[in-house]
Amino acid sequence: MPVASTPKSLAVLSTPKLYTTAELTVNPDLSAQIIALASTAFNRSKTPWPDRWNFTGRFPTTQHLYDTLGPQGTLAVIIDHNAECLEKAGEENRVEKSGRAIACAALLPWSGGWAKEGATTEKGWEIKCVCVDGSEQYARTGLAVQLLSVLEKLAIEKETVQLHSQNDSSASWFTQDRKTDSASGCRVQTLRTWILVAECINGDYWKKRGYGEVRRKREGEGVWGSKTGFEMLVMAKDISWEDRDHLDVQDM
């Protein structure tokens, strides 16, 4: 049966939930929802330029989703528990409410640009597959920003674990020299998050989110469903935080 629009007042949104690739592989229903959400969102972003883009969706199969995330990837998902009504087969043919994924974003280790340039020299984490349901009730509610905040915190947690499990000299994944906060004596750590962007579609959006252009390349027909070619940007943002578990004795 058709899915009816849910008024904002009736939306029941979860906090962002984190899923590893392994957890998604045993949750085919959620995986199918993510594929549908991503395909619709990516096609919607191309709608203003039908002469320049093919509407191909994002993930052809669930396996493509799993391969994209890889063994170290994490997907943050927001569920609207009141998003849709599904007709369930049963004695009374009951109608039950079932949650639906309405926003997602992924975090995975950065492995270089589209042609893998920088893969051996650039460190950090990539933000990928940022999608929000296009329905009016979710518009301008900050869902993407909420997901990005959660993933940035997750990246910090992952980096902190790596830092404390190795000697300082081997912590080469940080993008800048570490500093010590003179007031707290804590090390100030910095990591870099990356994103690949089609400049003509969402370059301005990511600039507003604090990302700066690192390099660009003109991609040709066929890449990301392009009919005419486009400017692909590699963008990055540095995130700093105080590592309170690591006091710099020399500076205290």
Burial (CB count within 10 angstroms: exposed 0-12, middle 13-18, buried 19+), residue 89: exposed
Task: For residue 187, count other CB atoms closer than 10 A to its CB.
Answer: 20
Decide: 250 and 224 in contact? Cβ < 8 Å.
no
The pLDDT of residue 215: 97
Q: Which two tokens stand for residue 81?
A: 């528990």
User: How confident is residue 9, by pLDDT bands cut at 50, 70 and 90?
Assistant: low
Residue 3, in any domain of the structure = no
Looking up residue 83, the CATH number of its domain turns out to be: 3.40.630.30
Tell me the H-state helices in 175-232: 199-208
In degrees rounded to 5, what are phi and psi of residue 248? -90, 100
The pLDDT of residue 174: 44
Residue 1, in any domain of the structure = no
The pLDDT of residue 123: 94
Decide: 162 and 123 in contact? Cβ < 8 Å.
no
* pTM over cut 0.85: no
Q: In the predicted model, is pLDDT for residue 90 greater than 60?
A: no
- Number of structural domains found in the chain: 1
Tens of pLDDT, residue by residue over 177-225, are 455 544 555 778 899 999 999 999 999 999 999 999 999 999 999 999 9
Decide: 192 and 236 in contact? Cβ < 8 Å.
yes
Shortest CA distance to 125 belongs to which of 107, 145, 104, 148? 107
Tens of pLDDT, residue by residue over 157-169, are 998 888 777 654 4
**Up-side HSE of residue 6: CA atoms within 13 Å toward CB?**
22
Q: Which two tokens stand for residue 2?
A: 């058709």
Non-local CB neighbours of 44 within 8 Å, separated by 6+ positions:
134
> Measured between alpha carbons, how far is 78 from 146 in angstroms, rounded to an integer?
9
Chain length of the chain: 252
Q: Which two tokens stand for residue 210?
A: 């604090």
C-alpha torsion angle, residues 165, 167, 172, 176 (rounded to 10)? 100
Q: Which structural domain range is residue 97 located in? A: 8-251
The alpha carbon of 18 is separated from its chain's Cα centroid by a whole number of angstroms, namely 11
Tens of pLDDT, residue by residue over 239-251, are 998 876 654 433 3
Q: Which residue has the tokens 């597959």?
A: 129
Decide: 106 and 131 in contact? Cβ < 8 Å.
no
> Measured between alpha carbons, how far is 219 from 115 in angstroms, rounded to an integer?
10
